[in-house]
Amino acid sequence: MRLRYIFIFLILILVSVVLKAQQIKSFFRQPHYFFRGTNFFFQDVDNPDDKKTAKEFMLTFSDEWNKNKFTPDQKSQMIETCNKMLKKKMKPIPHFRNYLSAIISFNNTNQTDSSFNAWEASLDKLIARPTSLQYIDYLDISNKLFSNNFLYKSATTAWKSSSNDYTFEYDTIPRIIFLRSTLFAMQTGIVP
């Protein structure tokens, strides 16, 4: 009887190792399965700090996803972009978290669908580049813009727009075109 328990225990360990070794190669196109896939994908981080960050982020993303804040077209584009990111071997932290965070922030700006499509088109061009550094930088800029209208923010200075009336274009580099806005500088910290 004891040998049987040892055998079952070894099988369970083997199955968990095999499941851990299996990495997601693509996300399903159905939104329900996509969410499950991202949840699994974010659990598969090795760094303990990233595990905590991933868990906290997935709670936020789950809340936004389940409130149906994203249109079916937005969900479809998100899935397509995430699959492109997987092909480029981008990681849950920082790549996917920054991308999905930017979309959450974008949704809170009440931008038009055409603005979302233009932003996603500029992301597609950046994903195709050999490295992901510009992609990460653009997501960081986008997230600051969407969440607080910041164009630039450092430890001492921030440039902020008075409105979120802007569009996106791509001509060798991504561009944000402000239609009606006032740009102003702010001090964000104490200069030593």
Tell me if 64 is assigned to some domain. Answer: yes
Tell me if 11 is assigned to some domain. Answer: no
- Residue 9's pLDDT is what? 58
Which range is least confidently modeled, 34-38, 76-80, 163-167?
Answer: 163-167
Cis before residue 94, ω within 30 degrees of 0? yes
- Residue 171's pLDDT is what? 82
Taking residues 123-151, report their average pLDDT. Answer: 92
Tens-place pLDDT, residues 143-157:
999 999 998 888 888
Q: Mutual orientation of helices 31-43 and 72-87 as an angle, nearest 10°?
A: 40
Selection from 9-13, 76-80, 106-110, 184-188 with the highest mean pLDDT:
76-80
**Residues contacting residue 28 through CB under 8 Å, at least 6 positions apart:** 34, 37, 79
Tens-place pLDDT, residues 68-120:
888 999 999 999 999 999 999 999 999 999 999 999 999 888 788 888 999 99
3-state secondary structure of 40: helix
Return the number of other C-beta atoms located less than 10 Å from residue 67's C-beta: 9
In the chain, the number of structural domains is 1
Among residues of the chain, what percentage have pLDDT more than 90? 46
Tell me if 10 is assigned to some domain. Answer: no
The pLDDT of residue 136 is above 70: yes
The pLDDT of residue 67 is above 60: yes
Tell me if 20 is assigned to some domain. Answer: no
Q: Phi and psi dihedrals of 144, rounded to 5?
A: -65, -40
Contact 157, 142 (CB under 8 A): no
Tell me if 55 is assigned to some domain. Answer: yes
Among residues of the chain, what percentage have pLDDT more than 70? 87
- Residue 21's pLDDT is what? 40
Instruction: Give the amino acid at 126.
Output: L
The pLDDT of residue 159 is above 70: yes
- Residues of the domain holding 85: 25-187
Residues counted in the chain? 192
Tell me if 74 is assigned to some domain. Answer: yes
Tell me if 57 is assigned to some domain. Answer: yes
Tell me if 181 is assigned to some domain. Answer: yes
Pairing outcome for strands 183-187 and 173-178: unpaired
Q: For residues 28 and 181, which has the higher predicted lDDT (pLDDT)?
A: 28
Q: Please name which of 190, 166, 150, 155 lies closest in space to residue 114, comparing C-alpha atoms.
A: 166
